[in-house]
A and B are shown apart, each in its own frame.
Chain A
């Protein structure tokens, strides 16, 4: 009826067609198709870094929310400092702890008033921020550089120099 050689040629052709079908099926999946947000396809650390660059670095909190939040995003501490647009802020990142989709950033923020030590916690999802919480306290000193929390903590992220 059909030789193995012919069957093999047909199977290769079918395989290529199936590949094209699988590619278009995954590409147009409604779970992600059409979302062109700047964090889509990025890792949680990159998403948070992008958000913070806009919210703190440019002082454009509303724009950062528009680009990185979803309609379901929960801000647990909406009254925390730095939740409204301002002049660009200076954010000195002290530590970043990331596990899975969760990212916690300890940074010191200067500009727009007294400097503050801030811990921002985020949960990301499909390239966007789904949940966030901010804990902050005034800097114990005149500036971020003079803060007691400016001392680096060894989290084992870099090789120990002997």
Chain B
């Protein structure tokens, strides 16, 4: 893979504007992760017979009620909350972050859409509610990790080969070590 984090991972940070920006992005990552862990585990606790951390709100206006109740009744909410929990753990523990952010985007957008469009709370677009900031933080973090998405954003992408599967172990490479060492 063309991307390496070696130069980034070995850095010793100094207090400057870039480091402050980095701290803000780290806060976004762990805040989004923390919120998703709680949101996901609260619902999943009920699946296993435990009381939730908080009862799932079902929206204020009818379209929101319909979407949330339908998701719950057909079982799709279990999948949504499982994604939230796994993504949240990845973000807090800083593992598989680019993948987690991409997986989180549909969930973040649905939370945003439910809060703003389905409940007609357009005044919240510029608020500090997590229901809108989950999408904002998700998008900002996606841009911060864009170097990992560039390889898949190629307009002309020839199909891979069977040998490509041999590169799979490289996903566990330590960014401080020579990338691809696990393949040798």
Contacts and interface: CB of A to CB of B under 8 A. Distances in A.
B15 A1 contact: yes
A142 to B, nearest CB: 37
Interface string B65-98: 1100100110000000000000010011110000
Interface string B46-74: 10000111111111001111100100110
* Interface size classification for chain B: 35 or more
A11 B30 contact: yes
Interface in A122-148: 126-127
A43 interface: yes
Interface stretch (B34-42, B140-148, B150-158, B165-173): B34-42
A112 interface: no
Contact of A101 (B8, B37, B55, B69): B69
Contact of B55 (A7, A16, A32, A45): A32
A127 B94 CA distance: 37
- B interface majority secondary structure: helix
Given A19-B34, A101-B69, A127-B55, A1 B14 contact: yes
B14 A15 contact: no
B28 to A, nearest CB: 11
B175 to A, nearest CB: 9
Contacts of B58: 44, 100-101
26 contacts: A1-B12, A1-B13, A2-B13, A3-B11, A3-B12, A4-B10, A4-B11, A11-B29, A11-B94, A12-B93, A15-B33, A15-B92, A18-B30, A19-B34, A19-B38, A19-B92, A26-B54, A41-B55, A43-B73, A44-B58, A44-B69, A99-B66, A100-B66, A126-B55, A126-B57, A127-B55
Interface of B: 8-15, 19, 26, 29-31, 33-35, 37-38, 42, 46, 51-59, 62-66, 69, 72-73, 88, 91-94, 176
Given A1-B12, A26-B54, 12 more contacts: A11-B29, A12-B93, A15-B29, A15-B30, A19-B37, A19-B38, A26-B42, A32-B54, A41-B52, A43-B69, A43-B72, A44-B69
